[in-house]
Amino acid sequence: MKENQRVALTKRLLQEGLFRLLEEKPLEKVKVTELCREAGINRATFYRHYTAPRDVLLDMEAEFDAKLSATYTAADKQDVPRTIEALTTHLHCHRALLKVFLQNNSADEFLLLFTKIFDTCIRGAEGFSYLAEADEESLKLLTAYITGGGYYMLRQWLLEDIQKSPQEIAALVLRLMNYTVADGDSKERPQRL
């Protein structure tokens, strides 16, 4: 138990130190010695747990993804607007950390997670004739399109500190989803998924 606490403390100190360094410079410029000094950890201890600073960043990302997944899992998937709003609120609360991930090209897992989330939202949407008739390949492509648009919208919001609330961003994401999923021949545009 004591060993596990020590390992957890060491990893937390390294993550906090790396976060501070990444606010000033890109990951490629961070040296192990510099990270150890920032975290107050000796190099031997660092190498007991990691091989490079990128490994620390990947641990940070995995922890964030687990928390984001928990937020999504706790949400009512039948209420897509509230689910999207819960996610944008979570992202907004952790925007400094997300900026570090995005600026260091460490967001692949984040994108994969969003693909799963948007796929669930799209497949759970009711009242869209196109979805009822779409084959599996079309649904995959539709999900890729919506995920790409939603992801890059969120990315720009976070990286450029665009002054929109999580609720406003959720509404924009929902609008993107609604207009994409709505039947193209129909004059009726749904208000909500």
For residues 38 and 69, state if they share a domain: no
The sign one gets for the Cα dihedral 26, 173, 74, 133 is: negative
Structural domain including 167 reads: 55-181
- State whether 84 and 131 are in the same domain: yes
| Residue 93, in any domain of the structure | yes
Can you tell me the distance from the alpha carbon of 178 to that of 172, in angstroms, rounded to the nearest whole number? 10
Q: Is residue 111 part of a domain?
A: yes
The CATH number of whichever domain residue 88 belongs to comes to: 1.10.357.10
Residue 186 lies in a domain: no
Asked, for residue 135, whether it belongs to a domain, the answer is yes
Q: Note whether residue 193 is domain-resident.
A: no
Residues 38 and 86 in one domain: no
Q: What is the CATH number of the domain that holds 34?
A: 1.10.10.60
Shared-domain flag, residues 81 and 94 = yes
**pLDDT score recorded for residue 8:** 92
Digit-by-digit pLDDT tens for the chain (193 residues) are: 566 899 999 999 999 999 999 999 999 999 999 999 999 999 999 999 999 999 999 999 889 888 888 887 777 766 778 888 888 999 999 999 988 888 887 566 677 777 777 777 776 665 555 666 778 888 888 888 888 888 889 989 999 999 999 999 999 988 888 777 765 544 555 444 4
- Let me know whether 103 and 147 are in one domain: yes
My answer on whether 45 and 59 are in the same domain is: no
Residues 106 and 174 in one domain: yes
Residues 31 and 126 in one domain: no
The verdict on 78 and 163 lying in the same domain is yes
Kindly state whether residues 156 and 70 are assigned to the same domain.
yes
Domain count, the chain: 2
The token duo for 79 is 């209420």
Q: Does residue 97 belong to any structural domain of this protein?
A: yes
Confirm if 54 and 27 have CB atoms less than 8 A apart. Answer: yes
The verdict on residue 110 lying in a domain is: yes
Query: Could you tell me if 18 and 78 lie in one domain?
Result: no
Among 16, 34, 51, the domain boundary falls at: 51
Question: What pLDDT shows up at residue 127?
Answer: 55
Round to whole Å and give the CA distance between 193 and 190. 7
Both 15 and 72 in a single domain?
Answer: no
